[in-house]
Amino acid sequence: MQETLTVETTFGAGKTGAALDQLCVDTIRALSMDGVEAANSGHPGMPMGMADVAHVLWTEFLALDPKDPHWPGRDRFVLSAGHGSMLLYSLLHLSGFGLTQDDLRQFRQCDSKTPGHPESFMTTGVETTTGPLGQGFGNGVGMAIAERNLAARYDASVVAHRTFAIVSDGDLMEGVASEAASLAGHQALGRLVYLWDDNHISIDGSTDLAFSEDVLARFRAYGWRTARVDGNDRAQVRAALADAVSQEEKPTLIACRTIIGRGAPTKQGTAKAHGSPLGKDEVKKTKELMGWPLEPTFLVPQVVRERWNVRQAEWQRARSAWDERLLAWRKSKPDEHALWSRQLTGALPSDLEQKLPVFEEGKAGGAPIATRAASGIVLNAVYPYVPGLIGGSADLTESNSTHLKEASELSRTNRAGRYIHFGVREHAMGSILNGLSLHGGFIPFGGTFLIFSDYMRGAIRLAALSHLRAIYVLTHDSIFLGEDGPTHQPIEHMAALRAIPNLVVLRPGDAQETAWSWKIALERAQGPTALVLTRQKLPVFDRNGADPVALARNTERGGYVLWQSLRGAPPDLVIIATGSELSLALDSARKLATEDAPGRPANVRVVSMPSAEIFAEQDEDYRRSVIPRIPARVAIEAARMQGWERWIGEDGLAIGMNGFGSSGTDKQLAEKFGFTVPQVCAKVRAWFRGLSRPAR
């Protein structure tokens, strides 16, 4: 122990200027090698190659506050190349974010603060969960949109900051990055600066195997500024960053030509430095060439800590100056400051329920209405009261009913706009929504057809993994969208979305349930929500004489008894349905309960289950009160039926889709695939009579 302290105290002592900078860079390289070696797993090459770039960025340009990691005035740093996570962990350790040397030693170990790829919900100072390449790139664009929007709406001297990212060759190969880059250039996000680790190596070998385009020409075509530097020449990196932050007209991509695994005598510049440890012998030789002590591992020289202490003091001075500007703004414009503060907290109006529109029941004269149309009405009703609500559609504004009538459109000339035209870029839209959510102060939503949720599934999964509040407005939810045919008719998509942990899927059965679904989505702060909505008009239910609002409020419990032929008695048959099939279930139940046929069910119950995930979270007594454990349980959904066995049992009847849809009108398709009242009744009747007599 004493020997370790001696090395930490004496090694590098007295170094200043460029020599000290080099020692700081070598510290990052050594920590990264040691972390990967200790785990016997990881990617040492990227941190070793990008250490110079990261050092310049973090010690000279990036504005942070380790004592207040969520300081709203901080710059955002995204490590899109998440495989190089030891680079970020080393920086967080050196800069005082509370990540200890012991945490570094636990790299890639179960439940450690240093997982294999950065995870925002686990490690203080990590802005976004990255790993799947291209996602961090899109997240950064979302953060930059958030910053520009806030700066246009409030005091720019307080809310303006920059978004920096390190991106890899792999990031730039992924399609999501191209989508996001195109939109960033279109929006002229000038305070967005990306540093490309241009090391020419991917897992398979040289990037020339599959990647030979002129990347900088491509980005210039997108509307970006570009530069090319030697990534191991700190003076060049410094000059390029200074130029990038001197303007706000366009986003900037700086190609930093680096050597992966820089300093490793036999593995630098090769794929062997990418995805596996260097090995003990290579680490030993690398440290010897660096003039670095072989022991102790995870060494941080005292002089390096002192250099970082200087940087932390600079950050605190910058924070104090920001606090003074904040105070001046609060005094001069208290109402504006209060609105910003409220937006940052994500607070919703205390009377949100009263802001929701009430849709008249069918018997009271209410006309049928598609749930996508009802969603648009709800969205516009609550929008004025939720300052952080922002979003748009992937070129389907009218089809998704996402248009905000009182909101202006976000553009390079109107940064304050709260409606975003994402273009036909579903994957980027999902990733940008995550960036908006991660930035803080926003409740983002994005619309597309349910069938195209496949394009953004990667981003949806990361939102669920990262516990992000994002809302997906997914319309045209079934085969009943009609003539567009099976390419546009989602069959497996609801089951696929329901399979994602921490994603709540809501498929409301009428307009009233749609209003409550929006309330759930807005209030749900620990994960994303998918609203699955119809194209075709649906009746607003006459809820068996009950208060329609009071009964629809049960949407918040995921499932509830919508109708029962004989109230107060145990049911003989339970029919569960969602969305447009809920009205089919109700009409079929009424026919089954009133027909004159031997062995018919005497008491039929219809259960609306807009969200199986929320219903599963209810206590068992409530679940059994809605769906008792009787043999006669039926589920109806015009989709694949995976997952429904939980609610109807192995012997229950599942009326769904076994294949793809077809072109035709909704009525033709209902007849073709067995979703008419006579067809449903015939299936249920034959199945019910085959059961043993239900328990009463």
Q: What is the largest CA-CA distance in the chain?
A: 98
Omega cis (within 30) before 72: no
The residues near 246 (Cβ < 8 Å, ≥ 6 apart) are: none
Residues taking part in catalysis: 426
Is 345 within 8 Å of 469 (Cβ atoms)? no
Nearest residue to 107 via CA among 80, 94, 88? 88
End-to-end CA distance of the chain: 75
The residues near 349 (Cβ < 8 Å, ≥ 6 apart) are: 355, 385, 386
Distance of CA 7 to the CA centre of its chain: 44
Question: How many angstroms separate the CA atoms of 392 and 107, rounded?
Answer: 39
Question: How many angstroms separate the CA atoms of 226 and 186, rounded?
Answer: 15
For tokens 């008491």, the residue is 603
* HEC-encoded secondary structure of 481-550: HCCCCHHHCCCCHHHHHHCCCCCEEECCCCHHHHHHHHHHHHHCCCCCEEEECCCCEECCCCCCCCCHHH
The residues near 505 (Cβ < 8 Å, ≥ 6 apart) are: 494, 497, 498, 529, 530, 532, 611, 612, 613
Is 566 within 8 Å of 602 (Cβ atoms)? yes
Structure tokens at 232: 């191991």
Structure tokens at 630: 């009787």
| Amino acid found at 693 | R
Nearest residue to 441 via CA among 232, 679, 151? 151
Length of the chain: 696
- Provide Rg for the chain, Cα atoms: 29
Question: How many angstroms separate the CA atoms of 198 and 187, rounded?
Answer: 25
